[in-house]
Amino acid sequence: MKAIISDVHGNLAALEAVLEDIDSKDVDEIVCLGDVVGYGPEPVACLEKLSYLMDGVRCVMGNHEEAVTAGSADSFTSRAKRAIEWTKVQLFGPEGNPHPDAQARMELLSTLPTIVERDGTFYVHGSPRNHTREYITPRDVRNKSKMKAIFDQLETFCFAGHTHIAGVFTEEGFSTPADLMNIYLTGTEKAIVNVGSVGQPRDGNPKASYATFDGDTVIFRRVDYDVNRTADLIYSISELDRSLGDRIKVGR
Ligand SMILES: [Fe+2]
């Protein structure tokens, strides 16, 4: 069985809680859908914890990895941009004084694949059409031409992250994990399964989100963690906007 995690965003307490939960299940492979860093207060610790996943093809690139390595944060909000600048210093050291691991970290993050295929299933951060940056939100089901164009790019079944909102998109519409009693059975229909976010959920539930997949069945899972620990760390770093701490407490 695989565990699929996404959007850790430098939230070590959430990541550790999820990895502990995964440990208690019959999981033989973890796939990470990107955005390990950005927003959160412990990007280096999260990267180190997951670096074994990044050696090879088990982690795809998120838009935050793209931003810290290629400097492409133009589309980011100002608080996200400030967080990216701070994250870059944590990962690579201040200008003129590179961290001893700067080169290795740059190499690791800048060479992540944008899409991975495993046993006929695809894994991306954003969407099958634009792997790192395109958002597919629940509201998009009303945008028939957008959804059609995206599903036209998809042969079968795909996992994605990026919106931080878990659920299943089919050509018929969107279902939340609650609609599905947390279980989605894959079949012949095309589907895009968003596993939600480990470190910054945005569906009104602050618990860390991830999913397991045994080849047929996706199970959406939520894990409690010490949100206040991460929020307090955010509040202690002036480059990280206080609202980044506030939002993880309410899952928005
Ligand atoms: Fe993200």
pLDDT of residue 56: 64
- Distance from residue 56's CA to the centre of ligand 1 (Å): 21
What is the arithmetic mean of pLDDT over 13-37? 96
- Distance from residue 236's CA to the centre of ligand 1 (Å): 22
- Distance from residue 222's CA to the centre of ligand 1 (Å): 17
- Distance from residue 208's CA to the centre of ligand 1 (Å): 13
What is the percentage of the chain residues whose pLDDT exceeds 90? 88
Q: What is the mean pLDDT of the chain?
A: 94
pLDDT of residue 193: 98
The more confident residue out of 120 and 225 is 225
Any idea which residue has 């090879």 for tokens?
56
Short-list 250, 223, 237, CA closest to 39:
237
- The DSSP code for 38 is S
Q: Is the pLDDT of residue 85 over 70?
A: yes
- Distance from residue 155's CA to the centre of ligand 1 (Å): 25
Q: Is the pLDDT of residue 9 over 90?
A: yes
Lowest mean pLDDT among 77-81, 90-94, 204-208: 77-81
User: What pTM was computed for the model?
Assistant: 0.95
Q: Can you list the domains of the chain with their CATH numbers? A: 2-125+194-250 (3.60.21.10)
Q: What Rg do the C-alpha atoms of the chain give, in angstroms?
A: 17
Short-list 76, 17, 80, 72, CA closest to 49:
17
Strand 173-175, strand 167-170: pairing = antiparallel
- Distance from residue 112's CA to the centre of ligand 1 (Å): 16
Q: Are 59 and 109 in contact (CB under 8 A)?
A: no
- Distance from residue 40's CA to the centre of ligand 1 (Å): 11
- Distance from residue 99's CA to the centre of ligand 1 (Å): 25
- Distance from residue 162's CA to the centre of ligand 1 (Å): 5
